[in-house]
Chain A
Amino acid sequence: MSTATLEPRTKTAPLRRLAALAVGAACLFPFAYLLLLSLARRWPFPALWPDGFQPDRWHDVLSGTGNLAAGFALSGLISLTVAALSTAAGYVTGKYIAYHPRRQTLLFLAYIPFIMSPVILGTCLMYLYLKAGLAGSTTGVILAQSMFAYGFGIVFFSAFWNPEVKALEDLVFTLGGSRLDAYRRVLLPVSRGPLLVCFFQTFLISWFQYGLTLLIGTGKVQTLPLLVYAYLNEANVHYAAMAACLLILPPALLLWINKRFVFNEMREF
């Protein structure tokens, strides 16, 4: 055990356990609170607990009726499309940029859509989308979100394509394999993990996107993040909580299943 940190000493162990318990509770609190709020019939001030539960809202969603089920399906469709497009394109483009003599400059350009505020950039892009007839459409939203997710995909994969991977590819050519062989037998199997992580990350970029969807979708493309705010504007906190639950439960489940794998791959951005 290292002595250079604040790591355990016997007399502080109960305090440390208490702190760990508090951190664990803080991690669980958002999920528990939102679930409770979505199920509550009423939760008047200053009660600490709802005065009854009403599962009807969840029943509506699970039976596929109402705005939320439609919003969930639309969000899923948009996010899966954006993730598939940006992961595939980022994989290929990232490789080209990683081995390019002007790697730094090209990477700088790839960072631009990735780090800019989507809302601010969206205000400038709106004119173009209006002229192209893409504003207010699902296609327009997919295209706009892909612009940002594609930048992420390039940045992500430019780090994956390194001399070791290049050496593996060259070895296939040396042994008489074609480019197709290199991808089918070596590169794709080697990059299965990063491909999954990039897909997951770009899915989340799209799944969580609010401002850009609001702007380019002109409020007509009602994804789950938009529904959270729409319900909040109506002061309908129970439905807002349910929309929030639908928004966070799928990624939370995926993270729980693949926790270390996903984080270790995505950590350095």
Chain B
Amino acid sequence: MFRTGHNDRPGALGLALFILIALLPIGFSLGYAFAYSVGLTGLLSEGPTGRHWAQLLREGEIWASFGLSLYVAAATVVLGVSGALLLVLYLRRPLRRGVLAYLIYLPLALPATVTAFLTYQVLSSTGYLARWLLALGLLEEASQLPGLVNDAGGVGIIAAHVGMAVPFFTLLFLHLYDSEKLDALTDLARTLGAGRRACLYRVTVPILLARARPNIVLLFIFVLGSYEIPLLLGRQAPQMVSVLAMRKYALFDLTEKPEAFIIALLYTALVLLLLIAGMRDGTVFRRGRETP
């Protein structure tokens, strides 16, 4: 049925172009990173060695870094998705019409760079939140405010990511609510004797979460590799994976460079595994029609 599709010459050229400018450079670069990490290339290369791998994997820094990244990604997913669900379930009507229906789109225009800057401006010890708490008499001095940025718990990093995720997921759930005809489904459930709570937990929420699964997986992956936000709001140690890789790469100490590449390789392996898992269970690719 789709026989003209792969005889499509411009399309084939497009694919060749994609392979040439994207996939080949990525493949080559990952190969180069591996060669560098085992001492086969680089200014200080001394022949094949597993020393850099052994040294990095022995250190706690990399495990703490991956641990922090996974924790921030998981916390963002849980808080961001829950927040959006709550908004859609509680404020669906104003979100559909009126001024709020317009305003909710505005945060989508905020990039990570600006969100990080804003979060710092609001949550730091001399930030806007501290000013208000002082003005309201809830604090006597700014130092009483617990550290919300550059803190051990990654509160600032998570808050910034959640702030970016909530508007997107609110709009997504709002759209799914209509496209999945949830009003009609819940009315049907009510007719069949289900209570308000049962409708909410056994119809509305499961359907919204199931349909939003690809986006939830992608949110997790994006936060895992986030750079701008932890760069400004994170601590010196541990650092999230992207920040750690960039720091080790950009250092003047060339002996740190193989470690930057090892981190990049481990991150790539993790993301590819997540993508393959998403593909296998249909989470990521279940879109449109099946291939004929």
Contact = CB atoms under 8 A, between A and B. Distances in A.
A103 B291 contact: yes
B20 to A, nearest CB: 10
B11 A96 contact: yes
Counting from the closest, the 8 A-B pairs by CB-CB distance are: A99-B5, A96-B11, A117-B225, A4-B199, A93-B14, A4-B186, A208-B111, A124-B29
Contacts of A259: 102, 105
Interface of A: 1-8, 16-17, 19-20, 23-24, 27-28, 30-31, 33-34, 37, 45-48, 89, 92-93, 95-101, 103-104, 106-113, 115-121, 123-128, 143, 146-147, 150-151, 154, 158-159, 162-163, 166, 169-170, 204, 207-208, 210-211, 215, 225, 228-229, 232, 237, 240-241, 244, 247-248, 251-252, 254-256, 259, 263-264, 267-269
B14 A27 contact: no
Interface stretch (B52-60, B74-82, B126-134, B147-155): B126-134
B242 interface: yes
A151 B261 CA distance: 23
B6 A4 contact: no
Give the dominant DSSP class at B's interface. Answer: helix
A117 B218 CA distance: 12
A8 B175 contact: no
Contacts of B113: 208, 210, 225, 228-229, 244, 247
Contacts of A118: 227
A179 to B, nearest CB: 9
Contact of A128 (B28, B105, B215): B28
**Chain B residues touching A, range:** 35 or more
14 contacts: A1-B183, A4-B187, A8-B93, A23-B100, A24-B100, A33-B122, A93-B17, A100-B291, A108-B285, A112-B23, A113-B26, A151-B22, A225-B228, A263-B108
